[in-house]
Amino acid sequence: MHPENKEQLLALKAVAKALKISVETQKDSYDPDFVAMVKGAEKRGNYKTIDPEDVWGSLNLK
């Protein structure tokens, strides 16, 4: 399951505990500074969309 926030995560854990189901959570493997940088660029619109069918053309390198 992929809860969108801590509230949903806590609710899922409570349901699992009530049903006596073990829950395993994983910490995000990305550096928090890197995540902040990517999210900031996305908010500013400072990114380039790449077409997987034409990577070089998307980058104007053809």
User: What is the tens place of the pLDDT at every residue in 2-50?
Assistant: 888 999 999 999 999 999 999 888 877 888 899 999 899 889 988 888 9
Q: Model confidence at 55, in pLDDT bands (50, 70, 90)? A: very high
Q: How far apart are CA 33 and CA 35, in angstroms?
A: 5
CA–CA dist 2, 8 (Å, integer): 9
Query: For residue 28, which of 19, 18, 20, 38 has the smallest C-alpha distance?
Result: 38
Instruction: State the greatest distance between any 2 C-alpha atoms of the chain, in Å, as a whole number.
Output: 58
Instruction: Give me the pLDDT at residue 57, please.
Output: 92
